[in-house]
């Protein structure tokens, strides 16, 4: 049974979710919660190896179904090894990306039928869903510029701009369809403003 709190962070590249993860964790820790910070794809030894395959831009021939199933293979490992045990011991799990990213990137971006993604979601998650999903929303060009300044581009970041536009639209659509789970952050604002937006959201969960 799920007893902790499962928080996921989503958004296009460069929208700030990874940078703000530590801040979110600090807010929960200050309110006397035990917090785990993790990420997808990754979060386990096996998952991090799968991540390396997925992000390696030398893997030019990866077909869309392979990409999708590797995401869910890493997720299966992550859920069973890390997420479920942490939730069972009442921890707050903060995860940098989760299944909404599969709908946005492999569904919206690559064009895989969401009905297929749903099959994997049901299989792998068996009802597990985030309690709260914070969507960091930012126009795609600004996001990619920020991400590009940070490090060398990975296999996803080298895609064309329309790929990321479809991803952003898919995220926003999902947020519209599940308003009770999603909260949207306007990442175009200043760093301090974004922190304030986060505080406003989290006060309902402390």
Name the residues that contact ligand TMP, by CB under 6 A.
13, 39-41, 71, 96-97, 101-102, 105-106, 156
Return the number of the residue (119 or 206) whose C-beta is nearest ligand TMP: 119
Closer CB to ligand TMP, residue 17 or residue 91?
17
User: Is the CB of residue 148 less than 8 Å from the CB of residue 157?
Assistant: yes
Closer CB to ligand TMP, 178 or 200, in the complex: 178
Give min distance, CB of 155 to ligand TMP, in A.
Answer: 8
Which one, of 91, 93, 90, lies nearest residue 37 by Cα? 93
Q: Nearer Cβ to ligand TMP, position 104 or 198?
A: 104
Instruction: Please report how close the Cβ of residue 40 comes to ligand TMP at its closest, in angstroms.
Output: 4
CA torsion angle for 67, 70, 35, 30 (degrees, to 10)?
A: 0
Q: Name the residue with the smallest CB distance to ligand TMP.
A: 105
- Show the 3-state SS of 94-108: EEECCHHHHHHHHHH
Q: How far is CA 55 from CA 29, 71, 99, 121, 124, in A?
A: 31, 11, 17, 21, 22
User: What's the closest the beta carbon of residue 76 comes to ligand TMP, in angstroms?
Assistant: 12
């Amino acid at each position: 049974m799920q007893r902790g709190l499962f928080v996921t962070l989503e958004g296009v590249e460069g929208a700030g979710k990874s940078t703000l993860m530590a801040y979110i964790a600090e807010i929960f820790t200050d309110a006397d919660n035990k917090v785990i910070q993790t990420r997808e794809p990754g979060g386990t030894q096996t998952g991090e190896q799968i991540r390396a395959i997925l992000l390696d831009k030398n893997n030019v021939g990866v077909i869309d179904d392979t990409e999708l199933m590797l995401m869910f293979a890493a997720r299966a490992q992550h859920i069973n090894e890390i997420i479920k045990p942490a939730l069972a011991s009442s921890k707050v799990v903060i995860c940098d990306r989760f299944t909404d990213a599969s709908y946005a990137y492999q569904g919206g971006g690559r064009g895989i039928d969401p009905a297929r993604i749903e099959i994997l979601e049901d299989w792998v998650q068996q009802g597990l869903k985030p309690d709260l999903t914070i969507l960091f929303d930012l126009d795609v060009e600004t996001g990619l510029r920020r991400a590009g300044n940070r490090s060398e581009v990975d296999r996803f970041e080298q895609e064309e701009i329309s790929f990321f536009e479809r991803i952003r639209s898919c995220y926003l659509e999902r947020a519209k369809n599940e308003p009770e789970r999603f909260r949207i952050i306007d990442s175009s604002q200043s760093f301090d403003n974004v922190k304030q937006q986060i505080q406003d959201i989290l006060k309902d969960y402390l």
